[in-house]
Amino acid sequence: IVAGTAAHAQTPYPTKTITMIVPFAAGGPTDTVARLVAQSMGNTLKQQIIVENVGGAGGTIGAARVAKADPDGYTLFLHHIGQSTAPTLYRKLPYNAIDSFEPIGLVTDVPMTFVARKDFPAKDFKELLAYVKANKTKVTYANAGVGSASHLCGMLFMSAIDTELTTVPYKGTGPAMNDLLGGQVDFMCDQTTNTTSQIKGGKIKVYGVTTKTRVPSLPDVPTLNEAGLPGFEVAVWHGLYAPKGTPKPVVDKLATALQAALKDQNVKTRFAELGTEPVAENRANPEALRTFLKSEIDKWAPIIKKAGVYAD
């Protein structure tokens, strides 16, 4: 037996409730992914995993909380692509996106959708493009703060069409969706994990998906490639972390429980209904997340610098 495995099997961990920090408000896409994964991992580890929402500053408030938490395995962190954009967007972050965390594994890549309030005047994406170019800052765009996925998508969109809109930030796209449903904000780019049920319920309008190919659970929604913005692609990857210094046997036990969660039929079914699927098994491990996070930080830095968007 490899020593690690022996230690991993003998670790009494966990012996009490675990907290999984979500750096956005409850009811949004990140929260949705976290609660499904926490439920399944808790079953495997035979300890409750409670989700705690710590919103603000595009996810960096929650990240800072985790970076300072005890590395004892009882604080976990579920975050998305924002972990890789914050180091460029925030020039004075109180943590290091790589060195302040122990990666556990990748979780899922979620497509995004361009959605608007039900009575938004555009009937398709081409009309939406024409409308926002004509009305500029009279159009309001919701996001979850600088560093959120909705912010990233909006930044890429405004750069692509060379048009500034009025941005309305929320502590998550859960609260943003409430205002979209109420017509208080015009549109947003948000993840299918948050928009699918409202789209299918006819409560909001959908104009396109931001993935290379169409989303199986939204078969009639064109890709932006088809709809008029060729090459516009963004999907929101999610990773699970613990604070730096969390013991390796604990990290290995968490990675094993994550891998079980991604094979859990309940998780797979719910993910599919929400337009996503678990990552391939060989990505749900510490090395895969560490490597991918580094490559994403390097990928987004020049794009963000070119757009000239900074939070501080």
Name which of residues 77 to 106 contact ligand MLT (CB under 6 A): 82
Q: Does 28 bind ligand MLT (CB under 6 A)?
A: yes
Selected range binding ligand MLT among 144-152, 199-207, 250-258, 303-311, rule: CB under 6 A: 144-152
- Shortest CB 28 distance to ligand MLT, Å: 2
The residue among 132 and 144 lying less far from ligand MLT, judged by its C-beta, is 144
Q: Does 150 bind ligand MLT (CB under 6 A)?
A: yes
- Shortest CB 123 distance to ligand MLT, Å: 26
Query: For ligand MLT, which residue has the nearest CB?
Result: 28
Q: What is the full DSSP assignment across the chain?
A: --HHHHHHHH-----S-EEEEESS-TTSHHHHHHHHHHHHHHHHHTS-EEEEE---GGGHHHHHHHHHS-SSSSEEEEEETHHHHHHHH-TT-SS-TTTTEEEEEEEEEEEEEEEEETT-S-SSHHHHHHHHHHHGGGSEEEESSTTSHHHHHHHHHHHHHT---EEEE-SSHHHHHHHHHTTSS-EEEEEHHHHHHHHHTTSEEEEEESSSS--TTSTTSPBHHHHT-TT---EEEEEEEEETT--HHHHHHHHHHHHHHTT-HHHHHHHHHTT--BPPGGGSSHHHHHHHHHHHHHHHHHHHHHHT----
The residue among 146 and 221 lying less far from ligand MLT, judged by its C-beta, is 146
Name which of residues 196 to 235 contact ligand MLT (CB under 6 A): none
Q: What is the CA radius of gyration of the chain?
A: 19
Q: In this chain, which of 102, 186, 190, 252 binds ligand MLT, going by CB under 6 A?
A: 190
Query: Please, which residues have CB within 8 angstroms of residue 250's CB and are 6 or more apart in sequence?
Result: 11, 13, 72, 73, 242
- Shortest CB 46 distance to ligand MLT, Å: 28
Q: Does 29 bind ligand MLT (CB under 6 A)?
A: yes
Instruction: Return d(Cα 122, Cα 137) in angstroms, integer.
Output: 16
The residue among 190 and 252 lying less far from ligand MLT, judged by its C-beta, is 190
Selected range binding ligand MLT among 8-16, 132-140, 170-178, 296-304, rule: CB under 6 A: 170-178
Q: In this chain, which of 73, 172, 208, 239 binds ligand MLT, going by CB under 6 A?
A: 172
Q: Does 154 bind ligand MLT (CB under 6 A)?
A: no
- Shortest CB 191 distance to ligand MLT, Å: 5
Q: In this chain, which of 62, 105, 154, 174 binds ligand MLT, going by CB under 6 A?
A: 174
The residue among 143 and 246 lying less far from ligand MLT, judged by its C-beta, is 143
Block residue for tokens 């020039």? 91
Name which of residues 44 to 83 contact ligand MLT (CB under 6 A): 82
Selected range binding ligand MLT among 23-31, 64-72, 221-229, 261-269, rule: CB under 6 A: 23-31
The residue among 186 and 190 lying less far from ligand MLT, judged by its C-beta, is 190
Per-residue burial over 142-169, b = 16 or more CB atoms within 10 Å of its CB, e = otherwise: bbbbbbbbbbbbbbbbbeebebebebbb
Residues that bind ligand MLT (CB under 6 A): 24-25, 28-30, 82, 144, 148-150, 172-174, 190-191
